Amino acid sequence: MTNPYENLSWLPAAPQDFASRLAKASTGEHLCALANYALDSNQLNRLAKKLVALQSADADLSALAPFSLGIISNATTKLITPALIGTTLRAGIALSVVEAEYNQVAQAAFSEHSVFGGHKPDAVLLGIDYRGLPLISTPGDKVAADKNVVGCISYIKTIANNICSRMGTQIILQNIVPPVESFSGSFEGRLPGTLSWLIARINLELDALASVDLAILDAAGLAANVGLTNWHDATLWNMAKLPFAQNYVPIYSDYVCRIIAARRGKSRRCLILDLDNTLWGGVIGDDGLEGILIGHGDATGEAHLYVQQVALGLRDRGVVLAVSSKNEDAVARKPFREHPDMLLREEHIAVFQANWSDKASNIRAIAETLSLGLDSMVFMDDNPAERLQVRTEIPEVAVPELPSDPALYGRTLLAAGYFEAISFSEEDRKRSAFYQQNTQRAELLNQSDMEGYLRSLNMEITFTPFDATGRARIAQLISKSNQFNLTTKRYSELDIKQLEEDKNIFARQIRLADTFGDNGMISVIVCRIFSEAWEIDTWLMSCRVLGRCVEEAVIQNIIENARKAGASKLIGTYIPTSRNIIVKEHYKKLGFTKTTRDENGTETWELNINKAKRLSVPMTVKNVV
């Protein structure tokens, strides 16, 4: 196996009794478990039909988060839709799809009488390929070629902008896969006006459109990975206007699923690494420092070196690195400290678990130390038995299947798309350092009492109104935060801008710094202002600052501002989900009184501002007006 994209090779092979397991499935959890195999199009279709059947039977689907997707394309998408529904179960999402008819792009985007009608999907997949663009081949005429690129981009932007404004939704914009054929050989891409030249420029312009509200689906990159000749099936296009070869429906669906999952804050954040025969060849406890294989000049050593390069590359993009190894701690750390060819060093690892406990127990300890959910974890281990044990005991953790050749370990991990990003901010770049500092804070806590520990951090919390500078990061936090999130309402970057300008909204972005460094933006609040009451519409916080009295500082800030505005009470709402159970008692702890609870578990809480006690917080409070 050299191309992991062909059959989703990072997932375990579908069990032989898949059909009988599917027949017995009766809950959303069962469907999620079945989706986490390398399924073909037929199996994904059957999974989608089972979801519909369970929805009709009013089965327990509480493990699934709903997401509605509109699809607009110049190609036929009806054979892709069931696979999309089956695939998104892999991310714990129950997908509903509304499709525009074949080649009705403009009609779907502009007409009030389109299939979307009054629908407001959570996102719209805009899948236009090169045959749906007004491309005109003008070899050698750069002026005409440049004009053609501008016209194509203008067409796509007009479609996307109209969808956003009319439906108020986010866009997943598929970039353009070039055709196979080349008229000028290797010179094709350098000759202005050829299709290859035009499409390359268009894709560069499309990348520039990416934002929190518009994600680029890299279909061109996927097609390049599997091969353009394989991707384009001329017979299927001529017969049924199918956009690509049908054996690539599962991987295409997985690419779409990754973006949807990232929109819902379900991208993974932590990579946990085994050591022996994963980061290096051999067993450090048996072979010693001189006997392990790593570094240049040896095929196996270079393969494991690439795994480290991948890990460091992910760390640079905000992924937290941890170690879980069955080893003596001092022995396991020795290569990190002394081997000259090691790229990874101890300072790159946020949590180092080397002991003789089972891997599942160590992973739970890592998650607790980092204050991250288990569904944020990816565990990479060359040992099939260890992988099976973790999958069985902690199904929330992603465990990629690895091939027998270590040269393909890094490629397989990246192909799996666990760490899909729809944006990248300064906060993301620093995330690994944030969690590294959290480990240092935990060590300090072990040496003192809680009150003394908090005071010793010299924390400074800063409250700043929403503004253009923080807008993208605010929207990112709102889209990704699931655990400490009272209502899990989602607001786009455009929505954030409107909140900034609304005089009946009190909104704050909140940052925290301490002795160990800047934690960045760690919380967002949105309150709706009424004459006598303020309603807390959105309150979310990064779990990495739990237990540091941030909640108390935030509520104190809200109370002070509400009191100045003449309000007499605060109203808070808790909308339960499968992932925000940690905030179930949030308002109770802050002195609120529960007033209502409906049949779905949604609770309303109230606080009398005039009777609220002033809370003492172990930090300096800074308000930026």
What pLDDT score was predicted for residue 321?
96
Contact 189, 142 (CB under 8 A): no
> Which residue in the block uniquely carries the two structure tokens 């403009």?
106
pLDDT, residue 80, reads: 96
Which uninterrupted H or E stretch holds 518? strand 517-529
CB–CB of 327/285 below 8 Å? yes
The confidence score (pLDDT) of residue 438 equals: 63
- Phi, psi for 348 (deg, rounded to 5): -85, -15
What kind of fold does domain 457-623 have according to CATH? Aminopeptidase (3.40.630)
* Residue ranges in 511-618 assigned as alpha helix (H): 550-564, 586-589
Residues lower than pLDDT 50 in the chain: none
| Model confidence pTM above 0.85 | no
Beta strands in 356-500 (DSSP E): 377-380, 459-465
Residue 83 belongs to what H/E stretch? Answer: helix 81-88
- What's the confidence (pLDDT) of residue 457? 84
Domain boundaries, the chain: 60-263, 270-415, 457-623
CATH number of 60-263: 3.40.50.1110
CATH of domain 270-415: 3.40.50.1000
Strands 459-465 and 320-326: unpaired
Same fold, 60-263 and 270-415: yes
For the chain, first and last CA: distance in Å? 58
